Amino acid sequence: MRSTMPRILPLAVLFVVFYVSASWAASGSVYDNFVQCLNTKANSSSSTPLANIVFAQNNPSYTSVLRAYIRNSRFNKTSTPKPVLIVTPSAESHVQASVLCAKQLGIQLKIRSGGHDYEGVSYWSDQTFIVLDMFNLRSITVDIKDGSVWAQAGATLGEMYYRIWEKSKVHGFPAGVCETVGVGGHISGGGYGNMLRKYGLAVDNVIDAQIVDVQGRLLDRKSMGEDLFWAIKGGGGGSFGVIISYKLKLVSVPEIVTVFRVERTLEENATAVVLKWQEVAPTTDDGLFMRMLLQPVTSKVKKGEKTVRISILAEFLGNADQLVSLLGKEFPELGLKKENCMEMSWIDSVLWWANFDNRTKPEALLNRNPNDANFLKRKSDYVQTAISKDGLEWLWKKMIELGKTGLVFNPYGGKMSQIPASETPFPHRAGNLFKIQYSVNWEDAGEESEKNYLTQSRRLYSYMTPFVSKNPRSAFLNYRDLDIGVNTFGDNSYEEGKVYGLKYFNDNFDRLLKVKTAVDPENFFRNEQSIPTLPNGNSDVNSRSSSNLPMGKPFVLLICLLIGGW
């Protein structure tokens, strides 16, 4: 036997190399196979040929379609893994067929609605993958009589706000302030905005939904069942299926709202303002939202020295006189005067928060701003006990030392404290004073800059450890942060998922696990931080291992034959 093995093994290796090469060459026909499958499975009345909604890497439009909704330039490099195909469905049946065909071909499916995915997990992967880009599915239907709006996943928040305003000047919806965020990702991950203290999160106002599940079925609330409906209201839609649309409950807004922006530096008593803000912002009138930005800047008073500037941006569901009177009593340290305030309609306040000029018309919200991207990193935390004066002064020193990373404090309280933590997967309710977003942007595309700014943000996050929630140190899913854990979907999938899952979902993680295992037992819908399946359910390991083989079972059988394992 020893004398024959040296002759057999090289031959075996040669066969294996040839087989693998042939199978990878065959992957060039993924486009043909996928389109052929789509034509078989899509019952579409659309006049658009299905081949026209699928972009292979050799398509002249491939790069522009991929880049259009990349919002973080860190994931727009030549070294960033690219999808083998981009599918741009224009009908629900295209989504259903895409799920079935990706499954049939054993290729991972990534779902992108708006691209405001801080870690880009909706459009890159270390595995062979397809991007299902939802931007063509963006219809919005407002029903003022019913007090609701149906919004498809690929619509932007700006488009939704505009369509609501078209129908009513006294209705709105409590979602995010960035107008180019996609409805699908925003709402499925929680979704908050400047009316969260009055009306809660976007997910607290979801009435119905449509989702395509792993079997390619189009389900609504009734047919999907309450467990899955619960899971896609803050658990991240990409773990459970493809969100097609949400039916949302409209909320009342006054004809006049008031906004203001007030800035202070350390030389202008900013520390005292921050101390009082922590007390007032989470407990004041529910109609008042005061976001606070903290940023290291160059001092105007002490030339050449650094200081910290705080900026309070606020919206009040009422007039300026009411607001000035309220904060005169509750927050005299701010020194708010009527001339600091601007009264405007709710739709104009949407434009104000989005940093448009004051005279900008609402139609600007319909501009989706494709190819608009920065280099950025975001992280998150929750604060449950106010930070002391000593703590703040120490923090200022650290922020100045680091250089650029800023903090955004978003106050809770109000409606957020009244909704039970288990009502939706989003658990961060009563007991949280405010959420922190760590924020740094940069322009240089070099590796050295990226390393520098990522290190800055991670150090500031580390410095904040004494001041934030513990056991777990909680995080917000829509401020996606791969630093807090990544799932490789190998043998330790459950344990890896638990690391980030408990931070994002606290006690709700267990229920999400059960829903995931029930609706997607083979873990077809997955990303680097998706909900894993339970270890005693249908293991995701089997799904992953088979889909990663060049040609599935034949490859395994060939090796078995060659090494005598048959």
Looking at residue 29, its pLDDT comes to 87
Looking at residue 44, its pLDDT comes to 63
Looking at residue 560, its pLDDT comes to 34
Q: How confident is the model at residue 494 (pLDDT cuts 50, 70, 90)?
A: very high
Q: Which structure tokens are listed for 197?
A: 């203290």
pLDDT tens-digit map of 97-145: 999 999 999 999 999 999 999 999 999 999 999 999 999 999 999 999 9
pLDDT tens-digit map of 223-258: 999 999 999 999 999 999 999 999 999 999 999 999
Q: How confident is the model at residue 316 (pLDDT cuts 50, 70, 90)?
A: very high
Looking at residue 303, its pLDDT comes to 83
Give the separation between CA 113 and CA 134, rounded to whole angstroms: 5
What's CA 48's distance to the chain center, in Å? 30
pLDDT at 82 over 80: yes
Q: How confident is the model at residue 20 (pLDDT cuts 50, 70, 90)?
A: very low
pLDDT tens-digit map of 359-397: 999 999 999 988 889 999 999 999 999 999 999 999 999
Mean pLDDT within 194-216: 98
Looking at residue 536, its pLDDT comes to 80
Q: Which structure tokens are listed for 313?
A: 């941006």
Q: What is the DSSP letter of 365?
A: G
Q: 10 Å Cβ neighbour count for 332?
A: 10
Instruction: List every span in the chain annotated with CATH 3.30.43.10.
Output: 22-133
Looking at residue 301, its pLDDT comes to 86
Looking at residue 385, its pLDDT comes to 98
Instruction: List every span in the chain annotated with CATH 3.40.462.20.
Output: 257-343+374-464
% of residues, the chain, pLDDT over 90: 86
Three-state DSSP at 428 gives: coil
Three-state DSSP at 539 gives: coil
pLDDT at 407 over 90: yes
**β-pairing verdict for 242-249 and 206-212:** antiparallel
Contact 109, 89 (CB under 8 A): no
Q: Which structure tokens are listed for 369?
A: 């701003």
pLDDT at 305 over 90: yes
Looking at residue 47, its pLDDT comes to 66
pLDDT tens-digit map of 23-58: 333 445 899 999 999 999 987 666 678 889 999 999
What's the CATH number for 140-252? 3.30.465.10
- Which CATH class, in words, describes the domain spanning 22-133? alpha beta
pLDDT tens-digit map of 134-184: 999 999 999 999 999 999 999 999 999 999 999 999 999 999 999 999 999
Looking at residue 45, its pLDDT comes to 64
Give the separation between CA 566 and CA 556, rounded to whole angstroms: 10
Give the separation between CA 386 and CA 411, rounded to whole angstroms: 12
Whether 479 is catalytic is: yes
Amino acid identity of residue 361, one-letter, is K
Looking at residue 17, its pLDDT comes to 39
Instruction: List every span in the chain annotated with CATH 3.30.465.10.
Output: 140-252
Looking at residue 564, its pLDDT comes to 34
Q: Give the lowest-confidence range in 286-295, 426-435, 529-538.
A: 529-538
The single residue of 199, 246, 382, 479 carrying the catalytic annotation is 479
Q: What is the DSSP string of 127-189?
A: S-EEEEE-TT---EEEETTTTEEEEETTSBHHHHHHHHHHH-SSEE----S-TT-BHHHHHHT
Contact 136, 88 (CB under 8 A): yes
Q: Give the lowest-confidence range in 21-30, 302-311, 378-387, 481-490.
A: 21-30
Looking at every residue in the chain, the average pLDDT score rounds to 90
% of residues, the chain, pLDDT over 70: 89
Q: What is the DSSP string of 297-340?
A: EE-SSSTT-EEEEEEEEEEESS-HHHHHHHHHHH-GGG---GGG
Q: 10 Å Cβ neighbour count for 302?
A: 12
Domain covering 257-343+374-464 assigned CATH 3.40.462.20 in the classification: yes
Q: How confident is the model at residue 508 (pLDDT cuts 50, 70, 90)?
A: very high
